[in-house]
Amino acid sequence: MEIIIADNAGFCFGVKRAIAMADSFVTNLDRVVYSLGPLIHNPQEVKRFEEKGLVAVDSIAEITGNKVIIRSHGVSKLVIEQMNERNIEIIDSTCPFVKSVHRRVEEFQKQGYNIVIIGDANHPEVIGINGWCNNEAYIINSEEEAIGLPEFDKICVVSQTTNTQNKFETLSEILMGKGNEVKVFNTICNATNLRQQSCREVAQKVDAMIVIGGYHSSNTKKLVEISEEYCKDVYHIETPEELNLKKLQGLKKIGITAGASTPDWIIKEVIKTMDNINNNEMMEAIESSFTRVHRGDILKGKVLFVTDNEIMVNIGYKSDGIIKREELSDDPDVKPKNLFKQGDEIDVFVVRLDDGEGNVVLSLKKVEDFKNWDIVEKLFEDKERVECKVLNVIKGGLSVLVHGLNGFMPASQVSVSYVSDLSPYKGKTLIAKVIDFDKNKKRIILSRKVIEREELNNKRKELWASLEVDKIIEGTVQRLADFGAFVDLGGVDGLIHISDLSWNRIKHPSEVVHEGQNVKVKVLSFDKDKNRISLGLKQTIEEPWVAFSKNVNIGDIVEGTVVNLLDFGAFIRLKEGVDGLLHVSQISKEHVEKPSDVLKIGDILNVKVIDINGEDKKISLSLKEALKETEEVDEKEKETMVEEPEVTIGDMVDKN
């Protein structure tokens, strides 16, 4: 006889959680703990808890103590409020899947939706769900009921978590035509889907199917229905004593599954009874159906569901696995729902076999750690670049995350430049290199400075390769010295000598440029071996004398500014940037002892060009000639003018 065990059988996550919570509270026979209704739909397990002191009641009125366990089916909002009013301590073991349905119907009813629940109206889970939408839900469990449902503007459809997928899909399709806006939520528990699918697969292969579970258990009844669709001989039992061994004898293949409320000890008792038929073959089959799990194993699992703080995983073991948020990654900002969804297959590390609630404690971080240590080691050996996220500023540098592993970047390795405040780096992603690595000591040291140095060297190479004499390039003034200005051209500094800053004579570079200023300069010469580049700023603009020669002729009256005063005359700077001499004798037709008697530096005045010496680049100017021309007013204009004061030197000079 061949025994085939369904891959998913026995306690689901919600029931297992309720049993674990009850076991932890019902430990003292002197203290009575109540449960609203039987804890689970399994009389044998209910009896076991009764012997430990758990009293099942049907209503709050029967409670005389102050501690109540809410079973995995959940209860209505009103029941919770009534217990709170009586100061009853609530031990809430409502299945997380059921709680999510409570929240959904409450939320959508507030938004004006008519709630429709697909399920058994007498089932405690459905009664509880209806209690979270003011007991106003429409409960349907057949095609006739779905067809007979009135039409509404807005409908929200949910399901009893233990429904069959076929029923839910059939009724949902009918309901889609019952409203203008219909939102359908498949709230069937994934564990239910897996259990039903496993049952379906086994039932198609065997001569007889044994379904173990309570007679009043909804999910067990559905397993019976599924089995009967594919197998002619189906036996629904609660205890091993109910097995009809004679009918099973001589069959070649027998399948076994169990409802969500069936504890492992009952399944094992059934196996022991089957030993009389198959000489322990059944026990070996049931044991071999479970993955053998040990601490430190790396296993493949399938995601059952994801919450904000944890992930439940089916690892093929008799208990499901749980991954807490802190075991997902070293990144404190990671969110489980951003990483995985229901049905994803993942590798997990077994931390321990029981977390106190019957779950296997798993870690994704440790699996990734094993892989990531190898990745980072290769990056270190190959001297490759790597991205790292800065987590915090700590003593001596930055704590960073590289491929999910904690690393350290010393302050001296953050940049080629000195960084006094590291706080702006927090939360940033940097490109770095691993400069020290020790897997055994869990040490990873990184450097951003190395990358910056490489980038500077590359820029220098590119710059030197692109340099040409007379080429115009851009740079930034880095610092000033008495003899010139240093300009950063992109990793290499060039020098503008003070004589190449301006066509005019200056005393200090600050008269022309300032630190941080972007400038365009001409390459005058360069020597890569000596790391020298000579630059010119004045060479990027037209020489003043050339501009003057193009624009000004002898006899023109031009505007200029007094820039120097000597005993023999004043130097006037014209707008082209050239200086001309206003001799003391050309200041006024009246005698002037020295220019400073009538002029001062900064005065703006109009002067006449009386001579240009192109060979020596000298310009002679006259203020009195300009005054004379101004005085020679057209006679006709004089006749029409009212008497005007005589024009003087003061009138020709702008004193600012």
Domains, the chain, with CATH or none: 12-92 (3.40.50.11270), 97-188 (3.40.1010.20), 199-289 (3.40.1010.20), 298-363 (2.40.50.140), 369-446 (2.40.50.140), 467-540 (2.40.50.140), 544-654 (2.40.50.140)
Token pair recorded at residue 195 = 């259990």
pLDDT at residue 227, as a whole number: 94
DSSP string of 156-194, one letter each residue: EEEE-TT--HHHHHHHHHHHTTSEEEEEE-----HHHHH
Provide the residue type at 60 as one letter.
I
Among 250-259, 268-277, 551-560, 636-645, the least confident range: 636-645
Q: Is residue 630 scored above 80 in pLDDT?
A: no
Q: Is residue 654 scored above 90 in pLDDT?
A: no
Q: Is residue 158 scored above 60 in pLDDT?
A: yes
Q: Where are the alpha helices (DSSP H) in 290-386?
A: 336-339, 365-382
Task: Select the more confidently predicted residue: 502 or 108.
Answer: 108
Token pair recorded at residue 193 = 């889907």
Nearest Cα residue to 269 out of 18, 44, 3: 44
Token pair recorded at residue 425 = 């780096």
pLDDT at residue 157, as a whole number: 96
Confidence of residue 31 (pLDDT cuts 50, 70, 90): low
Nearest Cα residue to 267 out of 240, 305, 233, 306: 240
- pLDDT tens for 336-395 read 888 888 888 988 888 888 877 778 889 888 887 788 888 999 999 999 999 999 999 999
pLDDT at residue 635, as a whole number: 44
CA atoms of 595 and 566, how far apart (whole Å): 7
CA atoms of 134 and 582, how far apart (whole Å): 103
Instruction: Return the top range by mean pLDDT from 293-302, 330-339, 522-531, 632-641.
Output: 522-531
Q: Is residue 40 scored above 80 in pLDDT?
A: no
CA atoms of 143 and 297, how far apart (whole Å): 48
CA atoms of 561 and 109, how far apart (whole Å): 85
pLDDT at residue 290, as a whole number: 59
Indicate the average pLDDT of the chain.
Answer: 85
In the beta sheet, which residues pair with residue 598? none
Confidence of residue 29 (pLDDT cuts 50, 70, 90): very low
Nearest Cα residue to 220 out of 187, 188, 261, 266: 261
pLDDT at residue 318, as a whole number: 72
- Neighbour count for residue 637 (Cβ, 10 Å): 8
- pLDDT tens for 210-268 read 999 888 888 889 999 999 999 989 999 988 888 877 777 778 888 889 887 787 778 77
Q: Where are the alpha helices (DSSP H) in 470-594?
A: 544-551
What proportion of the chain, given as a percentage, has pLDDT over 70?
Answer: 92
Q: Is residue 104 scored above 90 in pLDDT?
A: yes
CA atoms of 100 and 96, how far apart (whole Å): 6
pLDDT at residue 634, as a whole number: 45
Q: Is residue 288 scored above 60 in pLDDT?
A: no
Q: Are 305 and 342 in contact (CB under 8 A)?
A: yes
pLDDT at residue 283, as a whole number: 46
Cite the beta strand spans of 345-421 per DSSP E: 345-352, 360-363, 385-394, 397-402, 405-410
Q: Cα–chain-centroid distance for residue 264?
A: 42
Report CA-CA distances (Å) from 74 to 62, 110, 229, 359: 18, 21, 31, 21
CA atoms of 95 and 271, how far apart (whole Å): 29
Query: Which member of 51, 106, 125, 144 is catalytic?
Result: 125
Q: Between vectors from CA 544 to CA 538 and to CA 548, what angle results, nearest 5°?
A: 165
Q: Is residue 636 scored above 50 in pLDDT?
A: no
Confidence of residue 105 (pLDDT cuts 50, 70, 90): very high
pLDDT at residue 609, as a whole number: 92
| SS3 category, 206 | coil
Token pair recorded at residue 264 = 């492992």
- pLDDT tens for 457-513 read 888 888 888 888 989 999 999 999 999 999 988 878 899 999 899 887 888 999 889
CA atoms of 574 and 607, how far apart (whole Å): 10
Task: Select the more confidently predicted residue: 614 or 142.
Answer: 142
Instruction: Return the top range by mean pLDDT from 314-318, 369-373, 528-532, 577-581.
Output: 577-581
Among 80-84, 161-165, 268-272, 610-614, the least confident range: 268-272
| Residue 125 is a catalytic residue | yes
Token pair recorded at residue 331 = 């990144």
In the beta sheet, which residues pair with residue 311? 306, 323
Average pLDDT, stretch 61-76?
86
